[in-house]
């Protein structure tokens, strides 16, 4: 499946299914970031930025957050797309030469480290822009939503992405 088709399916899943779930009144799985996190490393950086911003903006418009609090998904997704290679460097055994890096061969520890750090970063930005006044509430929902999202992201990785 190509990148655009999978992104459309993930966006539709996020807007029409996952945004309808709200566990314990504040935990929501945000799986749309998987379409940014697992883009091939060789992908053009400008494309990644435009792609990330576009996905975030579509999620904002589809979730009606754009009208209420502004483009919070677009900003946090754009920032995640900008710093994605930094998160890859954290888990890469090659250090700064990440052009040979391949997501297909991540072990469980590196996968968890990558997804947890990138997802927490995204969620913290998202909730920080949404709830500017309360940092403790932001940290709490960022942590719990990250744990919930990472569980789904790891499952999706092993179901659809990992080569046997």
> What are residue 41's phi and psi, to 5 degrees?
-60, -35
Q: Which are the contacts of 120, defined by CB distance < 8 A and separation ≥ 6?
A: 142, 143, 146
pLDDT exceeds cutoff 70 at 16: yes
Q: Are 78 and 49 in contact (CB under 8 A)?
A: yes
pLDDT exceeds cutoff 70 at 4: yes
The model's pTM: 0.87
Q: Are 60 and 51 in contact (CB under 8 A)?
A: no
Q: Which are the contacts of 27, defined by CB distance < 8 A and separation ≥ 6?
A: 141, 144, 145, 148
Total domains in the fold of the chain? 1
> What are residue 63's phi and psi, to 5 degrees?
-90, 0
Give 88-141 pLDDT, tens digit per residue.
Answer: 888 877 655 666 677 777 788 888 898 999 999 999 999 888 877 788 888 888
Q: What domain range includes position 145?
A: 3-161
CB atoms within 10 A of CB 17: 11
């Amino acid at each position: 499946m190509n990148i655009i088709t999978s992104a459309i399916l993930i966006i539709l899943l996020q807007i029409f299914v996952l945004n309808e779930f709200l566990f314990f009144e504040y935990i929501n799985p945000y799986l749309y970031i998987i379409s940014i996190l697992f883009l091939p490393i060789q992908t053009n950086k400008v494309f990644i930025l435009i792609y990330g911003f576009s996905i975030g903006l579509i999620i904002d418009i589809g979730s009606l957050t754009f009208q209420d609090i502004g483009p919070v998904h677009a900003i946090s997704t754009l920032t995640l797309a900008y710093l994605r290679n930094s998160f890859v460097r954290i888990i890469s055994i090659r250090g700064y030469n990440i052009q040979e890096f391949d997501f297909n061969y991540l072990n469980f520890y590196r996968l968890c480290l990558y997804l947890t750090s990138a997802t927490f970063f995204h969620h913290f930005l998202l909730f920080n822009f949404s709830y500017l006044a309360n940092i403790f509430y932001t940290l709490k929902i960022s942590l719990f939503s990250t744990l919930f999202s990472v569980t789904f992201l790891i499952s999706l990785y092993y179901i659809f992405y990992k080569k046997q």
